[in-house]
Structure 1
Amino acid sequence: MSRPLVIDEAEVEITAIRAQGAGGQNVNKVASAIHLRFNIAASSLPDDVKARLLASRDSRITQGGVLVLKAQRHRTQELNRLDALARLHELVQGVAQPPRARKATRPTRGSQLRRLAGKSRRAVVKAGRGRPDLS
């Protein structure tokens, strides 16, 4: 496995916002949720990693190539900040390794015969559903 990629903290924009959902007075008063924005194109990540990250069909990546994460699992801002950074790091590490190239294979003779036998069995079943010959 290759070395883990390091994301510079200066490239990450973190904003504290009020969390949603249940929590009573704490949720209504305290800005404990974290809104993390990471501009993929302007980052110091290697070009191949940037390309794979932008190509991933993740709904959290905007049209402009900015990854937006919202962390509000925990009650404290510090834990939510660590959670958001960990999720960002996990996402980047997931695309850091290039996908393995697919090796083309051919079906075996036995699998071809089994497929054809199944098709002919099915044809017999369907042929039996026709109108009976009354002659």
Structure 2
Amino acid sequence: MPAPLKFPVDEREVEFSAIRAQGAGGQNVNKVSSAVHLRFDIAASSLPDAIKERLLALNDSRITQEGVLVLKAQQHRTQEMNRADALARLQEVVDSVSNPPKARRATKPTYGSKQRRLAGKSQRSEIKASRGRVSD
């Protein structure tokens, strides 16, 4: 059983539009608008502010300049299945930013790592010092 969603996306805040799918599929693809465009306005949503900020900070090409997340679902034959697929993918994106990133704790290099670094530097220095003109 999957874990309960921390921050479920309200379906009323999502805008769907049916479009014709691309690619192979023959007559069905050419006639039926089974693909779905999902548009989710992040700023206008009921998600907590921290999650909105992290969503808007994502370097994702699916997020427009206006802060709207656009997903296209065309995997399935029916519009209903594509709609469900798009909602599931939207929820995955929200869940991916729901856990705040861990704060980095500054640490100092260990004594051993300092010694290894200095040994490597001195070895490299010797190699470079041995270069030069060859005298007879």
Q: TM-score, normalised by structure 1?
A: 0.91
2:41 corresponds to which of 39, 42, 53: 39
Alignment correspondent of 1:124: 126
- Aligned counterparts, 1:98-117, within 5 A: 98-117=100-119
- Aligned counterparts, 1:1-135, within 5 A: 4-132=6-134, 134=135
Identity %: 69
Query: SS of 1:73's equivalent?
Result: coil
CA RMSD, Structure 1 to Structure 2 (Å): 1.8
Q: What is the one-letter code of the residue matched to 2:80?
A: E
| Structure 1 residue 115, shift from structure 2 partner | 1.1
- In the superposition, relative to structure 1, how do residues 23 and 2 fare at CA in structure 2: closer, same or farther (>3 Å)? closer
- In the superposition, relative to structure 1, how do residues 130 and 34 fare at CA in structure 2: closer, same or farther (>3 Å)? farther
- In the superposition, relative to structure 1, how do residues 17 and 116 fare at CA in structure 2: closer, same or farther (>3 Å)? same
Count, aligned residues: 134
| Structure 1 residue 106, shift from structure 2 partner | 0.7
Query: SS of 1:96's equivalent?
Result: coil
**For the residues of structure 1 that align with 2:32 and 2:5, how far apart are their CA atoms?**
38
| Structure 1 residue 126, shift from structure 2 partner | 3.1
Q: What is the one-letter code of the residue matched to 2:88?
A: A
In structure 1, stretches of 5+ residues that fail to align are: none
**For the residues of structure 2 that align with 1:3 and 1:10, how far apart are their CA atoms?**
17
Q: What is the one-letter code of the residue matched to 2:67?
A: G
| Structure 1 residue 3, shift from structure 2 partner | 5.6
**For the residues of structure 1 that align with 2:122 and 2:37, how far apart are their CA atoms?**
59
